[in-house]
Amino acid sequence: MKVAVVGVTGMVGQVMCKVLEERNFPITEFLPVASARSVGKKVEYNGKEYTVISMEDAIAQAPDLAIFSAGGGTAKTYAPQFAAVGTVVVDNSSAFRMDEDKPLIVPEVNIDALKPTDKIIANPNCSTIQLVVALAPLHEHYGIDRLVISTYQSMTGTGVQAVQQYNEELEGKEVSNPAYPHPIFQNCLPHCDVFFDNGYTREELKLVGETRKILGDQSLRITATAVRVPVQGGHSEAVNVSMHKDFELSEVRQLLSDMDGLVVVDNPAKNEYPMPLAAHNKDEVFVGRIRRDESAPNALNMWVVADNLRKGAATNAIQIAEYMVKKGWLNAKTEVL
């Protein structure tokens, strides 16, 4: 199987290569793809060195699969061109997430929405992915009425430029190319992506629209505040869930424990709860601080954490591709690089 990683030199692209290696994804021909300024650079995959090629060169080779992490504008331009030559595209940008005819997939939650005829598949926003893994069993058993979400998002979600800003600030240097309008070192910015006229940011509205689409319920009432924090390990979320039915906490914990890809870490007596430092480099979503909201009926609070570059991006995209291989929708060969 011929596989292209588009945006291979970026932060998520590099993690995609790492996850493909770790999971022994059946690649017989690897195509590293990036923008014109990166063409000709060398990257390593599975112990071999490869030369980065252009979008046009990759499209001409008609790969079986292209995993994109190259920004919405790039995806809008090139993903349809890959699809036109028969390539299945799994896109990590926001370009296609809300398109009615494009599936938005978290494998543990809504893999049944995927069809063998789908050529462009959207990977959800990192914050949404970990959120819906924790919400899906609750929505199925109790019916979710309203969500109040506060995120504490790693600066790695912004990319290499943000990490560079943090490191320069940490070292007391003048910031050469700031990713944010304010310092991120020793600071929290209630500002993820651009602001809209209603006062919400794009990241906050992604949580609203994508969660409704993935859970298949446009009636969900959702409000969110997204905050960027000086953390590299992953994203954290404080989630208040109001449900249509009452619940027992013991049953909630069991439902969450039984959910694929979700790990319950919830023993405050021993100071055990999810943290981005502990979630770093892991593929699971972690949930803890599960407790009844004593101010409202049928409501609870929980704390959800995941590595935003892995489950929040690379791993989720590759899990989608693995499912398609398993179903025979991608022509995986036996000899692997």
Coil vs helix vs strand at 55: helix
Q: Which of 17, 126, 192, 280 is catalytic?
A: 126
Task: Choose among 116, 102, 110: nearest CA to 68.
Answer: 102
d(CA 233, CA 184) in angstroms, rounded, equals 15
The answer to whether 17 is a known catalytic residue is no
Under 8 Å CB-to-CB from 223, ≥6 apart: which residues? 147, 148, 149, 208
CA-based max dimension of the chain: 60
Under 8 Å CB-to-CB from 52, ≥6 apart: which residues? 8, 9, 32, 33, 34, 38, 39, 40, 41, 42, 43
Beta bridge mates, 69: none
The answer to whether 235 is a known catalytic residue is yes
d(CA 330, CA 65) in angstroms, rounded, equals 8
Q: Which of 17, 139, 192, 235 is catalytic?
A: 235
Paired sense of beta strands 88-91 and 120-122, if any: parallel
Active site residues: 126, 235
